[in-house]
Amino acid sequence: MQNFTPISALLGGALIGFSAFLLLWFNGRIAGVSSIMSGLFTTQGANRHWRIAFLIGLMLGAASWQFFATEAITFRQNYPLPLMIVGGFLVGLGTRLGSGCTSGHGICGNALLSPRSMAATLTFMASGLLTVYLIRHIFHINA
């Protein structure tokens, strides 16, 4: 299995959990990336600064991994643009309807044993599985 990378997965998961813990401990905030991002447009002052720092940290973490990884990371290409636009819209709509995203509900909410987050996580996981099945096996889009 080429894509089985337990060490990097364990390290990444630990870092995500630790950063969510630190944000909750120091700021009393749940590390929901969609809420952090939307708060950039609705808050001012110091409440905005930590959001910017958090999002920059996410980008720097990804860039650091790309730079220091022993194998080149290849990105999937050639997906139909209309499909990507519809997918992005549906993800945004889902985070708004579900009052949070995969990080807020899936990581933080489940860790806090929130029934609402457990239901949201089951919903977006089932939606993701159904989407992959439809795209790969019904519509035969294998970009």
Residue 98 has pLDDT above 70, yes or no: yes
Q: What is the pLDDT of residue 2?
A: 63
pTM of the predicted protein model: 0.72
Determine the residue type at 43: T
41 vs 73, which has greater pLDDT? 41
Distance CA 11, CA 73 (A): 17
Average pLDDT, the chain: 85
Decide if pLDDT at 15 tops 70. Answer: yes
Least confident of 16-30, 62-76, 127-141: 62-76
Instruction: Give pLDDT, residue 72.
Output: 66
pLDDT at 143 over 60: no
60-74 per-residue burial string, b: 16 or more CB within 10 A, e: under 16: eeeeeeeeeeeeeee
**122: pLDDT confidence band, cut at 50, 70 and 90?**
very high
Q: Are 54 and 32 in contact (CB under 8 A)?
A: no
